[in-house]
Amino acid sequence: MVFLKNLKNIIFKKPEEKNKDYLIELFKNIENIQKQNKSVSFTIVGVKKNGFLIKIKGLFGYVSFAHMPWKYSHLNKWRTVSKSLINTSFKGKIYQIKENSILVDAKNHALETPILVNDIEYQGIVIKKLKFGILVDIGYDFNWQYGSVIGLIYAKKTEKISFLNKIEVGNIITTTFSGYRESNKIVLTHKEIEKERDEKEKDFNRFKQNTENYRKRVLVKTYNENKIFYLENKPIQILTQNKYYKHLYNKNVVHKIINTLKDGDFIECYIVSIGENYKISAILNIHKVDSNQLKLNNLKKELQNLIGTEQKILVRCNNTSGKPRFYFNNKTIKMPIKKSIYNRTERLDVRRTFSQLEDKDVIICEILGYYENGTPYAKLLFEN
């Protein structure tokens, strides 16, 4: 009875009607229970860092998380659910009486397996968020009489369920039991998650029905010299294998076409398939690209290399308007007379020069750039 010598250090509430003799009787009773190795009921009344403060036979004691009837894989899970166990009762054996505490082991407390019913709702505490869903302990719904009853709400991050972002560890949520998976693990669902999943599935089926096996305009975006293709803001994969194209085209031709594309270009593609999570595969509409976009992009590349250079421009005046037209490499070139190109005096000189030009004259100009349709424009150079 060493502990009786340090009675003042023992943690207990001391109502006025209790006296020293009464407390001595309580401790004698605790000693006898320990000697007889009996199981005794206790009630959780508070939470400590690594366990619970309990009330046992009128005195205060302590049960560590490690001595509870069930285990969690991490202490954080105990700390998440611990407050919800206050006022619950279990049975345990007193394994040590120290000067200021009674230590109890409840690992042998018998726990039954609950009978869960399909499509019935159970409340639970979120104990962990995973890449593929959330773990919920529905032992909470049974006031922990069955101990921990963990189920998984399956939801991959790739599904992008927005409701998952609102759920935090420690939240109490209402789940629905959906059965068991391998190893007898519990499968749970949540109304909001299922509702959002159904809406996404309808949107996907609608998109697939209106897109798969159709020709669509695809946007080209360039990131760090890598080209990414988008259909309605969804990335797609351009297939380049020979089997997808006619025999006169091979994957080298397809890659050549792709290399000519610039950021912001649109190309026409044939959507081959749409898989889970909008995994879209497509092939180039090769003829469309070859006859239009490819030629335009090649022309722009040529013009880009000519910007800032002096070139000979052919003048033709055989049109009914009487205004001269200008040609470079047998293609039209514009000669705008703008403030951004010439000062006031130069603009007057340009107009005077243009009015004096004759058919098949050649003038020297500086290539300034090109318009979106590939038409170049230039500035007239005056002799010094």
In a domain, 111, yes or no: no
Is the domain of 7 the same as that of 101? yes
- Same domain membership, residue 286 and residue 219: yes
Q: Are residues 336 and 368 located together in one domain of the fold? A: yes
Q: What percent of the chain has pLDDT over 90?
A: 45
105-162 pLDDT tens trace: 999 999 999 999 999 999 999 999 988 889 999 999 999 999 999 999 998 766 778 8
In the predicted model, is pLDDT for residue 1 greater than 60?
Answer: no
The residue among 267, 300, 333 that closes a domain is 300
Q: Where among 235, 265, 300 does a domain terminate? A: 300
Confidence of residue 250 (pLDDT cuts 50, 70, 90): low
Sheet holding 325-328, edge to edge: 331-332, 325-328, 310-316, 362-370, 376-380
- Residues 12 and 45 placed together within one structural domain of the fold: yes
Element holding 133 (H helix, E strand):
strand 133-137
Cα–Cα distance measured from residue 257 to residue 49, given in angstroms and rounded to the nearest whole number: 65
pLDDT tens digits for 86-99?
A: 999 999 999 988 76
Backbone CA torsion sign across 72, 75, 77, 79? positive
- Model confidence at 290: pLDDT above 90: no
Range with the poorest average pLDDT among 99-108, 152-161, 282-291: 282-291
- pLDDT value for 3: 44
Judge if 131 and 71 occupy the same domain.
Answer: no
Which pLDDT belongs to residue 310?
Answer: 93
Q: Please check whether residue 353 lies inside any domain of the structure.
A: yes
Query: What is the per-residue pLDDT for 122?
Result: 96
Give the span between the Cα atoms of 246 and 229, in whole angstroms.
22
Asked if residue 47 and residue 27 are part of one domain, the reply reads yes
Alpha helices of the chain — where are they, by DSSP H?
2-5, 20-35, 75-81, 162-166, 191-211, 251-260, 286-288, 294-306, 344-355
97 and 18 inside one domain: yes
The answer to the question of residue 115 being in a domain is no
291/327 same-domain check: no
Do 37 and 94 fall into the same domain?
Answer: yes
Report DSSP state, residue 220.
E
Res. 291: pLDDT tops 70: no
Would the pLDDT of 10 be above 60?
no
Query: Residue holding tokens 């320990």?
Result: 34
Tell me the pLDDT band of 294, cut-offs 50, 70 and 90: low
* Residue 35 domain boundaries: 2-105
Domain boundary among 272, 300, 328: 300
Q: What letter represents residue 25's amino acid?
A: E
Whether residue 10 is found in the same domain as residue 94: yes
Q: How many structural domains are present in the chain?
A: 4
Query: What's the CATH code of the domain at 261?
Result: 2.40.50
pLDDT tens figures, 190-199: 999 888 888 8
Average pLDDT, the chain: 85
Q: Token match 């020709």: residue?
A: 215
Q: Say if residue 276 is in the same domain as residue 311.
A: no
Q: Do 101 and 129 fall within a single domain?
A: no
Residue of 212, 221, 77, 51 whose CA lies nearest to 150: 77
Is 254 a domain residue? yes
Residue 219 in any domain: the answer is yes
CA 163 to chain centroid, in Å, comes to: 12
Chain-centre distance of CA 368, in angstroms? 45
Report strand pairing: 172-180 vs 186-189.
antiparallel
Lowest mean pLDDT among 246-250, 263-267, 332-336: 246-250
Number of H helices, E strands in the chain: 9, 20
**Quick check: is 86 in a domain?**
yes
The pLDDT of residue 19 is above 70: no
- Residue 89 belongs to domain with CATH number: 2.40.50.140
Return the pLDDT at 161: 82
Query: Once rounded to an integer, what is the mean pLDDT over residues 349-353?
Result: 91
Establish if 204 belongs to a structural domain.
no
Q: What is the per-residue pLDDT across 223-239, written as a single tens digit (0 to 9) for each?
A: 887 889 999 889 998 88
Residue at 137 is within a domain: yes
